Structure 1
Amino acid sequence: MNIFDFHDYKHCINEWIASQPRNGHGQLRQMALHLNVNSVVMSQIFRGDRDLTAEQGLAISSFIGFTDLERDYFMLLIQKSRAGNRDLEAYFDKQLEQIRTAATALKNRVKHQKFTDEDKATFYSQWYFSAVRLGVSIPHLDSATAVAQYLNLDRALVSKVMDFLKSHELIVEKKGRLDIGPQVTHVGHDSPFVNRHHSNWRLKGLQAMESASEKNLFYSGPMALSQDAANEIRKILVETVEKATKKAAPSDSEVLRCLNIDWFEVGSKK
């Protein structure tokens, strides 16, 4: 859902509700709880003639997870709906058009230069940058809301991450849906960002251990062995990574998973 396509805040919210799981069943009640009002009030607003107050509009912006620009647009839609005459409506229409223009400029802004170290520092600062990028390749994850729900992240955060990824062609829009873009990222073993990259995903691995899902696999096996055997196992692991990568690359995007492998010496020889 693109809020900037809407000219009525009620249509916007009703569309958002309909896009939620189970066609949004229970969402109005959740909004009412968030606003600390009776659920009847929400029905009177979004299914009747009653309008949101500015305070309620700001709270709903937080509930949905609008970005700053989306929030500003939404609040103007509310003010326009509450306007007492056509002159005031026209005043707000002009401001709404300015925000729509700004949003379009942001959407179309693409950096055509090389992915810089500063960009990499941002991209590898958190696990969710690469997770969001890969996530949009899964067909049903076609919006910030869907990705946020899948990754259990705040929608406003996902929207900001998507803005960054779009501006660097790491994700693009194809035929009305999001997909991985042509720009590539690579962090080599000698990169100053490699340790951060590994740490981010190992922390996610530690969190995943708590779910005890049979779909996951975790193994820790300290062992004493010969140097030749250690070298051979490292070779086997490298080959396994290569096979896994070749297997994953041409397959359809259906789920998002992470492979972490550690093979290291404990202690050191004197």
Structure 2
Amino acid sequence: MNVFDFHDYKHCVNAWIGEQPRNGHGQLRQLALYLDINSVVMSQIFRGERELTLEQALLVTRFIGLSELERDYFLLLVQKSRAGTVELKNVLEKQIANLKESALALKNRVKHQKFTDEDRATFYSQWYYSAVRLGVSIPQLNTAASIASYLNLDRVLVTKVVDFLLQHKLIVEHKGHLDMGPQVTHVGHDSPFVNRHHTNWRLKGMQAMERVSGRNLFYTGPMALSEESTQEVRKLLIELVEKTTKKAASSDSEVLRCLNIDWFAVGNER
């Protein structure tokens, strides 16, 4: 859904609801709970003549997960609907047109293809950048709202991440649906960002340990062994990683998983 295609905020919200799973069944009720108003009032607003207050409108933008520019545009639409005079409506219409033009110019601006160190610093700063990027390859997770629900993240945060990934072509958007983009990123063992990348996902692993699940696997095995066996185990682990990545590459995208492997010296080896 493109917010800037709408001239009426109610049509915008109803269109967003229609794009949600099960055609948005239950979303209006969830929105009513989020705004702390009853469902009758909610129906009067989005299916009648009643208007949102600006405070309620701001909460709606957070519930949907709009970006800052989309939020400002949506709030202008609400102000226009609430305006009591033709003169005020005309003033707001001009502001709406200007903001829409600015958004179009930003969208059409040529993005750089090179992934800079600053970009990498952002991408590897948090686990959810790569999680969102991988998540859109799953058919059911092709919108910011569905990703936010799946990852238990705030929708505004996911929208911010999606904007970053779109800007750098790590994901693409087609007819309102997100998918993996042509741009790729890789963090090598000598990269200044590799430690942050490992740490982010190991912290997620520690959080997952708190949830008992027969589908997960955690193993910690301190051991004493020969130097020759040490090298053999390392080789086996490398082969496992290679086989796993090849298997994932050729597999359909249905779930998100993370593989963490640690093989390190305890103490000072000679």
- Tell me the alpha carbon deviations over residues 53-93 of structure 1, each in whole angstroms, 9 at most, x when there is no partner: 11221222233332211211111111111223444333222
Q: Does the CA contact (< 8 Å) of 2:14 and 2:46 recur in 1?
A: yes
Moved over 6 A (4+): none
Q: Which residue of 2 aligns with 1:142?
A: 142
Task: Compute the displacement of 1:104 (Å).
Answer: 2.6
Q: Give me the whole-angstrom Cα distance separating, in 2, the residues matched to 1:151 and 1:52.
A: 29
Q: Give me the whole-angstrom Cα distance separating, in 2, the residues matched to 1:163 and 1:108.
A: 14
Query: Residue type of the partner of 1:203?
Result: L
Instruction: Give yes or no for the alignment of 1:10 onto 2:31.
Output: no
Q: 1:247 to 1:155 in 2, by over 3 A?
A: same
Instruction: Give yes or no for the alignment of 1:233 onto 2:233.
Output: yes
Query: Residue type of the partner of 2:44?
Result: Q
Q: Which residue of 1 aligns with 2:186?
A: 186
Q: 1:120 to 1:110 in 2, by over 3 A?
A: farther
Q: Which residue of 2 aligns with 1:59?
A: 59
Which stretch shows the higher mean deviation, 25-34 or 49-58?
25-34
Q: Does the CA contact (< 8 Å) of 1:17 and 1:23 recur in 2?
A: yes
Q: Give me the whole-angstrom Cα distance separating, in 2, the residues matched to 1:175 and 1:72.
A: 23
Task: Compute the displacement of 1:128 (Å).
Answer: 0.8
Equivalent positions of 1:130-209 (< 5 A) are 130-174=130-174, 177-209=177-209
Query: Residue type of the partner of 1:6?
Result: F
Q: TM-score, normalised by structure 1?
A: 0.91
Which stretch shows the higher mean deviation, 90-99 or 104-113?
104-113
- Unmatched 5+ stretches in structure 2: none
**For the aligned residues, what is the CA RMSD?**
2.0
Q: Give me the whole-angstrom Cα distance separating, in 2, the residues matched to 1:38 and 1:174.
A: 36
Equivalent positions of 1:47-86 (< 5 A) are 47-86=47-86
Q: Does the CA contact (< 8 Å) of 1:73 and 1:99 recur in 2?
A: yes
Q: Which residue of 2 aligns with 1:100?
A: 100
The DSSP-based 3-state class of the residue aligned with 1:140 is: helix
- Unmatched 5+ stretches in structure 1: none
Q: 1:107 to 1:141 in 2, by over 3 A?
A: farther
Q: Does the CA contact (< 8 Å) of 1:110 and 1:167 recur in 2?
A: no
Which stretch shows the higher mean deviation, 100-109 or 221-230?
100-109
Q: Which residue of 2 aligns with 1:40?
A: 40
Q: TM-score, normalised by structure 2?
A: 0.91
Q: Which residue of 2 aligns with 1:256?
A: 256
Task: Compute the displacement of 1:22 (Å).
Answer: 4.4
Query: Residue type of the partner of 1:53?
Result: T
Q: 1:180 to 1:109 in 2, by over 3 A?
A: farther
Which stretch shows the higher mean deviation, 53-62 or 230-239?
53-62
Aligned length: 270
Task: Compute the displacement of 1:205 (Å).
Answer: 1.0
Q: Quote the sequence identity (%).
A: 71
Q: Give me the whole-angstrom Cα distance separating, in 2, the residues matched to 1:29 and 1:234.
A: 54
Q: 1:111 to 1:20 in 2, by over 3 A?
A: closer
